[in-house]
Amino acid sequence: MQHFQYYIDGQFLEGEARFDSLDPSTGKPWATMPEAREADVDRAVSAAYTALYDGPWPKLTATQRGKLLYKLADLVAANAQKLAELETRDTGKIIRETSAQIAYVADYYRYYAGLADKIEGSYLPIDKPDMDVWLRREPVGVVAMVVPWNSQLFLSAVKIGPALAAGCTMVVKASEDGPAPLLELARLIHEAGFPAGVVNILNGFGPSCGSALGRHPKVAHVAFTGGPETARHVVRNSAENLASTSLELGGKSPFIVFADADLESAANAQVAGIFAATGQSCVAGSRLIVERSIKDRFVALLKQKAEAIRIGAPLDMATEVGPLATSRQRKGIIDLVARSLDAGAVLVTGGKALDGDGFYYQPTILDCDGVASPSLVNEFFGPVLSVVSFETEQEALRLANDTVFGLASGIFTQNLTRAHRLMKGIRAGVVWVNTYRAVSPIAPFGGFGLSGHGREGGMAAVMDYTRTKTIWLRTSDDPIPDPFVMR
């Protein structure tokens, strides 16, 4: 059993309580984790608040902050394999994916290292004589960051990187499911030389840790990734401290395929879009909207590819789909598939939990044409694809927008003018055309509707962690007239 600690005010601590973390591939404990309670949260936020205004952090230049981020990026790159193995062990995400993703995470920290000294203010051509007015961008304050278990080193980098570049301090709450890689990241932050209290990393359960963090009076901003229901609690909590929020929430992303598309390419993208990460991705292309004339051919191609997927141990480089992260997650998928079949959806392939140890579930395709299937509106967060067909471009767009979510979308067509029409019409924060799941530190990422607000990635993310200060300077040496003397 491995033993992890959390990180507060530059120290690695045990906490008052501990709990076991389960290996999703076996369902058995593999490590013990510290469980943060309200007193731990208060200590962490107080450390971040002190570090924001006192000590070395506020005295550093933006360039010096950038150099610390560069050092962290190098440490992440040097330790990528260890971090990948920890994430795979604790969440069940396959090693071939965690290895590639975490190596790329270092580029996110490098990007924000370079942006640190490029956060600029502006001069206003004010309409009053003898006045100079300019705007400064300053750190928003102490940031509470709540990171889920899926892709957590990536989802923490898109928060930690821009917040540090902006000069904020922070408390990062790892998920109680699979917190090991984030707790290990704390060691790299410590080694990089960030002053004590600037970054604090802990983990715990919602009522005793997450709720206390979000409503803490010294928290100025909450950056949350998770589901809409939990986000509602986050927003209600923020009424206590009037903290601003950035929310990256769920998705039910449409994946539109026209008859003129390269079907082999589209099929490969669809398989990656729904079965990669065992479907546990907020951008999973879980709704296939396919032109009716090619539906049978395209679904048959997907069925063939789905049934050829190698399911196995996540630490095996040959494995293509691993287990779900928790038994709770698998139970929810089993129930939702059963309700969808009861509603009239037709099972194309999969649809079963695997026997034996671990939280495995088969890659599954449901034909939902003409059916009001729950699978079309509810986010599975698992390897389940729902299929509907369309006749016209207008019908495809209507089906794509028939959701309360609006995070990502995919369009596959060789018709450039059609692609441009759909790009404008789809209500989603990200539109991929003839590709899927592409990301970059340079490109903002975020959603519409119940998929949240705010952006991660690009300069837009830095703006979420700054606030504007307006400075007025009177340039005249003449005395200010007595306001009560009439002239």
Active site residues: 248
How many helices (DSSP H) and strands (DSSP E) are in the chain? 14, 21
Grouping H, G, I as helix, E, B as strand and the rest as coil, residue 466 is strand
Residue 479 DSSP symbol? P
| CA 114 – CA 440 distance, rounded (Å) | 15
Is residue 162 within 8 A of residue 136, CB to CB? The reply is no
CA atoms within 13 A on the CB side of 353: 20
Diameter over CA atoms, the chain:
91
By residue count, the chain amounts to 487
- Parallel, antiparallel, or unpaired for β 346-349 and 364-367? antiparallel
Q: How far apart are CA 67 and CA 350, in angstroms?
A: 49
CA pair distance 280, 303, nearest whole angstrom? 20
Q: Which two tokens stand for residue 2?
A: 């491995």
Distance between CA 336 and CA 366 in Å, rounded? Answer: 11
